[in-house]
Chains A and B, each alone.
Chain A
Amino acid sequence: MFEAIAFYLFAFLTTLMFFITVTTSQALHALTALAAGMIFISAFFFILGADFLGAIQIVVYSGAVMALYAFGMMFFDTTREVKEKQGNQYIIAGLSVVAAVLVVIIFAAPMVTDNITALYPMTEGVGNTQDVGMVLFTKYLVPFEVAAIMLLVAMIAGIVLAGKKMDDSLTAMNESEIEESNARRLS
């Protein structure tokens, strides 16, 4: 009974939060609702007994949304409403309905035909942390490593793009040195 109550409560809350995220015209409301929605999703993992994925969901997404906040802070006055350019509302509504129906069909199709079998059932006597590790480093080793390399490439690219003048500190320089470095950059 508690599981059902928790499920419906968090289902309602998650939907509400993401609804606020896409409908509000206030950047701070949108970001906050997004963060809350991401954290509420972790409740489903906890209800299903996948504690590890639940905790990871909280750790990863709270950090990711925090980075979004930093961008929001740089680009907007987050306490003011953003004037949105509204395109054709019917196209937006139609496309979102079609997308939602598609997603439901994709997930419901295997259930209707009873084609779901657990390829890697839970190993008896170990926690789900170990189970995730076992599947990740046997069956899904190649995708896992490819994803790691992709992230590494992105990180190196970021460092190369942003880190040109990383060792110069404006606070440690005096006036003439700053002008000199500006001149060097412009030339």
Chain B
Amino acid sequence: MEVAYLIETIIKVVVVLTIFSALAGIGTYFERKILAFMQRRLGPMNVGPYGLLQVAADGIKLFTKEDIIPTNVVTNVFKIAPVITASTAFMAAAAIPFLPSFDIFGYTVNPIIADINVGILYILGIMGVGLYGPLLGGMASANKFSLLSAARGAAVFISYEVVTGLSILAPIMMVGSLSLIDFNNYQIENGWIVFNLYGVGFVAFILFWIAAFAETGRTPFHLIANDHEIIDGFGTEYSGMRWGLFFIGEYANMFFISFVIPLLFLGGYGDGSLLGALALLGKVAFFFFFFLWTRAAWPDVRPDQLMWLCWKVLMPIAVVNILIAAIIMI
């Protein structure tokens, strides 16, 4: 029994790791293509048909490039920072149910690595730890622009965490559990949380969605690696695969948060049929596309504007939302 469980878990971990590492690469291809179409360009076209092999070319470049450690950096911290970003992104995935459970050769597979009963708290906590990567990378780099980028990272961290925490409280009160599987089962019986409780669910959904942009560091909150400085913020001193790990972490995070939003608010995988599973993948695709769409359509905000938005606008709304939810439910 125990050995079978161990083998099953290891297989699941390997599958999740490979699929999402590959998806992170393919995600960059989608991003470049979609941005190009929205800006009336062609995007990558030269490597392979429609530039499809661009991912492989980028991969070869990242893996074979020299790994440079500049002389004045704090070596240990500098080396470990990208690993934190990538590994925490995948650790967070341990509590996400990617698909409904299905049978394969008479063996029931639950596509979740660990169904702990505090799933959503664990996911958000670990994703929060992921911001240590940019912070440490920036501070250890001995570069003023990297340091500024790390400072912006700290500012982002202390602003968005309050909003994510408070916005999911109302749904948690409805469901009465922190496990994402319980969220899904609740929504089978009571309908999607977005439409529940006279708009309370909808407000929570919008707040969480906005905070998700800050969490993954995407435009309009792409201020950790500030594009306006032309250089890459905390990643300025990095090269080769260490920079690539930052990259994989960011895109894996985007995919995982795109899984979490539908599971929390939009019915998840429904009743577990094939249709439900496909619907979940469709929702994930939409949210991932929306990240890219916003990047093409919106400018970045300043750090002080982000803090103003989170603390003075979103946090009061979230608190009032919880109060209203509590009053209605009593």
Contact = CB atoms under 8 A, between A and B. Distances in A.
Interface of A: 26, 28-29, 32, 35, 39, 46, 51-52, 54-56, 58-59, 62-63, 66-67, 69-70, 72-73, 78-79, 127-129, 169
Given A35-B132, A79-B74, A66 B178 contact: no
17 contacts: A28-B74, A51-B122, A52-B178, A54-B122, A58-B125, A58-B129, A62-B132, A66-B157, A67-B158, A69-B154, A70-B158, A72-B139, A73-B139, A73-B151, A79-B72, A129-B118, A129-B178
Interface of B: 72-74, 76-77, 80, 116-118, 121-122, 124-126, 128-129, 131-132, 135-136, 139-140, 142, 147, 150-151, 154, 157-158, 161, 165, 177-178, 304
A72 B154 CA distance: 12
A54 B95 CA distance: 14
B55 to A, nearest CB: 32
B128 A63 contact: yes
Nearest to B176: A130
B37 to A, nearest CB: 35
A127 B74 contact: no
Interface of A, secondary structure class, is helix
Contacts of A52: 118, 121, 178
A33 to B, nearest CB: 10
Contacts of B76: 29
Nearest to A32: B77
A135 to B, nearest CB: 17
Contacts, number: 85
Nearest to A50: B118
A73 B149 CA distance: 12
Contact of B125 (A26, A32, A55, A128): A55
B118 A62 contact: no
Contacts of B131: 66
A66 B147 CA distance: 14
B142 A129 contact: no
Contacts of A128: 117
Most chain B CB within 10 A, of A39, A52, A63, is at A63
Contacts of B118: 51-52, 54-55, 129
B72 A63 contact: no
A79 to B, nearest CB: 5
A35 B88 CA distance: 14
Contacts of B177: 127, 129
Contact of A66 (B74, B80, B125, B154): B154
A69 B140 contact: no
A59 B121 contact: yes
Contacts of B157: 63, 66
B139 A69 contact: yes
B117 A79 contact: no
Given A32-B136, A56-B121, 8 more contacts: A51-B118, A52-B178, A58-B126, A59-B125, A62-B125, A66-B131, A79-B74, A129-B178
